[in-house]
Amino acid sequence: MAEIVLMRNFGRQDSHTLAGYRATGGYGGWEKARTMEPAAITEEVKKSNLRGLGGAGFPTGTKWSFIPKNHAGPVYLVVNADEGEPGTFKDRYLLERDPHALIEGMLITARAIRCALGFVYIRGEYVQPWRLFSAAVKEAYDAGLLGHGFDIVVHRGAGAYICGEETGLLSSLEGKKGWPKIKPPFPAIKGAFGQPTIVNNVETLACVPPIITRGAEWFAALGTKTQGGTRMYSVSGRVPKPGVYEASVAITLRSLIHDLAGGVSGSGRLKAVVPGGGSAAILTADEIDIPMDVDGLKNAGSMIGSAGVIVMDESVSIPEALMVLARFYAHESCGQCTPCRESTGWIYKQVHRIVEGHGRKDDLDTILDVAKRGGGTTICAFYDGAIGPYISYIEKFRSEFEALCRS
C-alpha cells in the first residue's frame, strides 16, 4: 500500500480547522520555506517531479520558472478549483477536509514566484466547499498566516465548465464571460489582469507542503521516473465502492479498480473504463494493465487528465454513454471556434439519432471524419478533449453502434 500523503488528515473530525491541521504538523512546510530562497523552493519542486494534477500534467516547478525574472509589476497566483471534469471530485474533498493544506501550498508557492496576491476560483455550485474553505482562510488571517505579505481572495464562479480551462478561468476572474484565449502568451507571461500569473490545480498545490517538509527525493520516489508522488483518484460508475482513493501515480488501472474500488459491480464483468475524466479516450477491459502516470496513459492512447475513473460493466451501452458525453460537450462549448461549436452540436444530434434507432452505418464514418478534422485547430483544448471520446468510443465499440443502425 502506497503512502497516504494528501488524504492523511481526512480521518480527523477537525481536519478542516487550523487546530486540527497544526496538530498533524501543518504549516511546518511554510515555516521551512520562509527561510528558503524563492529559487531554491522552485528547484526543490522541480526535483520532486511534481506534475500538474488538474489535467495537462505539466511539470509544476518548470511552470513556476516561466515567470519573467525582471518583471516590475505584480505577479498573481490563481488556484483552479473549478472542478468540473465529468467523473472528478477530488478537489471537493481537499477544499472541505483539508483547506489549510491548500492555503499552506499557496503560501509556499507565492514565495517561490514572489507573489503577494492569490485567487482561489471555486466553481459556483460548490457552496459547501466555498464556505469551508472561506472559513479556513479567515482562520489563517486571524492567526497572522495571511495578511503579512500574502493575501488570498476567494472567488466564486457562476456555472460554466469551460472556466476550468486556465485562460477561460482568467477571463472569468476578470469579470468577463469565460472565453479561452489563444496561447501564447501563456498566463505565466500575461495572465490575470494582464500580469504574469501561475495557474495551478488545488491538488497540485496541496502536494507542495509535503515536498518542502519531507524533501524532493522522497516525493519523487513515490512515483515513476517521470512523475513523482501520489495522487487522488476519483472512482465512480459500476464499482462496489465508489470514492476518492489516494495511491502512487504508478498504480495500475487494474489494481485501482480491483484492489481499491472493490472490483466491478452490475454484471460483474468489465467492459470499458474512462481513465482520466470524461474527456479521456476510453479503454477496453483488456487495456487496464497500465500505470496511471501521465506517460502511462499517453502510451495507452488516452490521458490521465484529472484522474477521474469511470467504470463500465458489460451491461452498459457504450452508444448511450457517448450520447451523454456528447450532450455535455454540445452544452459546454463556449462557441468561439467554428469546429468546436458546430461539431459538438452536430455530433450530439447524430449520436442521439443512432441511439434512438434512426441512424445509418455510414453516419459513423461521417462522425469520425468530422471529429478528426477539427483536432488541433481550436483556441483551447476543450475540443481535443471532446474528440477523444467521439473517436475512441466509436472505433473501439463500433459493432455496438452498428447494431443500433438501420442500414
Partner 1 sequence: MNGAPGSSNSPPAERAGLAGPATNVAFTPEQLAEVRRLQGLYPDKRGALLPVLHMAQDAFGWISLEVEEYVAGFFALSPAHVHEVVTFYTLYFQQPKGRHVVAVCHNLSCYLAGSRDILAHVQRRLGVEVGETTDDGRVTLQSVECLCACEAAPMAQVDDRYELNLTPEKVDRILEGLR
Ligand X SMILES: Cc1cc2nc3c(=O)[nH]c(=O)nc-3n(C[C@H](O)[C@H](O)[C@H](O)COP(=O)(O)O)c2cc1C
CB atoms near residue 132 (< 10 Å): 16
| Chain center to CA of 37 | 29
Name which position in 56, 117, 290, 316 contacts ligand X (CB under 6 A): 56
How many Å apart are CA 284 and CA 271, to the nearest integer? 6
Closest contact distance (angstroms) between CB of 330 and partner 1 is 11
Residues 6+ apart with CB under 8 A from 320: 355
How many residues lie near partner 1 (CB under 8 A)?
58
How many Å apart are CA 389 and CA 394, to the nearest integer? 8
Residue 375 makes contact with ligand SF4 by CB under 6 A: no
Closest contact distance (angstroms) between CB of 170 and ligand SF4 is 13
For 27, left (φ over 0), alpha (ψ -120 to 50), or beta? left
The dihedral through the CA atoms of 144, 145, 151, 157 has a sign that is: negative
CB atoms near residue 349 (< 10 Å): 12
Closest contact distance (angstroms) between CB of 332 and ligand SF4 is 7
Which part of the chain contacts ligand SF4 (CB under 6 A), choosing from 44-52, 294-302, 337-345, 362-370? 337-345
Contact 4, 15 (CB under 8 A): no
Name which position in 44, 85, 287, 293 contacts partner 1 (CB under 8 A): 85
Name which position in 383, 390, 393, 401 contacts ligand SF4 (CB under 6 A): 383
Contact positions with ligand X (CB under 6 A) in 160-219: 162, 164-166, 199-201, 204
Kindly write out the interface string for residues 266-285 of this chain, putting x where it contacts partner 1 by CB under 8 A and - elsewhere: --------x---x-------
- Of 211, 169, 144, the closest CA to residue 84 belongs to 169
Residue 383 binding result from ligand X, ligand SF4, partner 1, none, given CB thresholds of 5 to 8 Å by partner type? ligand SF4
Q: What is the CA radius of gyration of the chain?
A: 21
3-state secondary structure of 122: strand
Strands 308-313 and 270-274: antiparallel
- Of 320, 306, 385, 398, the closest CA to residue 357 belongs to 320
Residue closer to partner 1 by CB (options 243, 301) is: 243
Name which position in 88, 333, 343, 392 contacts ligand SF4 (CB under 6 A): 333
Looking at the DSSP bridge assignments, the partners of residue 248 are: 230
Residues that bind ligand SF4 (CB under 6 A): 162, 180, 333-337, 340-341, 378-380, 382-383
Residues that bind partner 1 (CB under 8 A): 74, 83-89, 91-92, 117, 123-128, 153, 155-161, 172-178, 192-193, 195, 234-238, 242-244, 274, 278, 308, 310, 312, 316, 320-321, 324-325, 327-328, 331-332, 334
Residues that bind ligand X (CB under 6 A): 52-56, 58, 80, 82-85, 162, 164-166, 199-201, 204, 380-382, 385
